[in-house]
Structure 1
Amino acid sequence: MRRIRTTWVALAVIAGLGVPALPAATASAASTQTTVCPTGWGSLPKVRSTSTATPIENIRTGRHACYDRMVVDLPGAGKAGLGYSVRYVNRLYQDGSGHHVPVGGGAVLEVRVAAPAYDPETGAPTYPGRVNRPLPGVDLTGYRTFRDTRFAGSFEGETLVGLGVRARLPFRVLVLTDRIVLDVAHNWTGAR
């Protein structure tokens, strides 16, 4: 039977009739699906020049299929006054003193939020971050891109955070009501 089928397939090819599809014995690698991730964010600095007196109350992170996310919460700030500057730097320096703040990872993002981490009237801290220390409540276990976080202080109405990432990867910054969102892609290619 096998010999007859082989002969028939050979004759069909010679005659130009094509070869009928043979049943697959196993699932092919082509059937494995991958997540296609957005691209085009780039790694150049991103800036929004505006500010607010509404203080930062929390900084948190999350994992997603295509990127790792950092969120800076400013309850009551709305959307219009939220400003930021996010850029890759060789080293992170504390505002005012100029002291170096070491940040782990293959690359460092300087995340500057145009809002204080203290009450502007009383000076009391609204966010419990301590200079040179990891962000409170942030555990980066299991993250694909994030490696380290460091609070670098709040000076003259601006708050500075260092975000250590695996490598210099594309990122985007979004402004939503009462929060600033920073997404850092897992890679450059767009595929997971």
Structure 2
Amino acid sequence: MHRPRRQQLVAAVTGALLALGVAFAAPASAAPRSAPTPLVVNARWGGHCTFDRVVVDLQGYVPEVAVTQVPELVYDGSGKPVPLPGTHFLEIRLHPAAAHDEAGQSVYKGPQLVQLNLPRLKGLAMTGDYEGYVTFGTAFTTQPQYSTFTLHDPERFVLDISHPNVC
């Protein structure tokens, strides 16, 4: 009568030991590693014959980026309006991302606020670096038609705003 119970106990212990052995035998590289948060180090712009361009330079990798039309630009945290001319605005939001290092020192070397006179792009502002999000705002006097893509080596996010040929 004790044999079936004893066999069940031995089977349970053996199964537990095997499970532990498999877990201990797994290579360390199989454990997921999280990459460091990418750093936003610059933003720049340029005018071309058929488009205006905004480029956000990063160290690390290009995180998820959301580009959203918004009714106005505000600074993250304070909610204060961003003083850029325009009637149409795009918000560029990178996450996860930071424009500061672990000591809290800024690594971002680009403009905080700049008014432009390109065919479509009238202004660019860094509007936030808060809790894993870095945000920029762009200003336009007409509804922007845009496309986005990423480039690598070095890592960049690109926003192109189309306009009629000016060349």
Q: Structures share a fold, TM > 0.5? A: yes
- CA-to-aligned-CA distance 1:102-150 (integer Å, 9 cap, x gap): 321231111112211111x2111011467xx515xxx734x11111112
- Identify the residue that residue 154 of structure 1 maps to in structure 2: 129
Structure 2: runs of 5+ lacking an equivalent: 1-34
Partner of 2:51: 67
Aligned equivalent of 1:13: none
CA–CA separation in structure 1 for the residues paired with 2:86 and 2:78: 23
**Greater percentage in helix:** 2
TM-score scaled to structure 2, two decimals?
0.68
1:165 to 137, 140, 160: 140
Query: What SS does the aligned partner of 1:101 have?
Result: coil
Unmatched 5+ stretches in structure 1: 1-50
1:109 to 2:90 alignment: yes
2:36–2:60 Cα contact (<8 Å) kept: no
Aligned residues, how many? Answer: 129
CA distance in 2, matches of 1:151, 1:129: 9
**CA distance, structure 2, for counterparts of residue 58 and residue 85 of structure 1:** 18
Identity, % of aligned pairs?
A: 33
Amino acid at match of 1:91: E
Query: Over aligned residues, Cα RMSD in angstroms?
Result: 2.3
Output the CA distance in 2 between the equivalents of 1:144 and 1:52.
38
Distance apart, 1:98 and its partner CA: 2.3
Q: Is 1:108–1:164's contact at 8 Å kept on the other side of the alignment?
A: yes
How many angstroms apart in 2 are the aligned matches of 1:182 and 1:175?
9
Map 1:126-165 → 2, pairs under 5 A: 126-128=107-109, 133-135=112-114, 140-141=116-117, 143-165=118-140
Query: Per residue, is there more strand in 1 or in 2?
Result: 2
In structure 2, how many angstroms separate the alpha carbons of the residues matched to 1:128 and 1:74?
Answer: 11
Aligned residue number for residue 92 of structure 1:
73
Q: What amino acid sits opposite 2:99 in the alignment?
A: A
Q: Map Cα deviations across residues 148-173 of structure 1 (whole Å, 9 max, x no partner).
A: 11221210111111111131121111
Q: Secondary structure at the residue paired with 1:168? A: coil
Q: Is the 8 A contact 2:44 2:110 kept in 1?
A: no
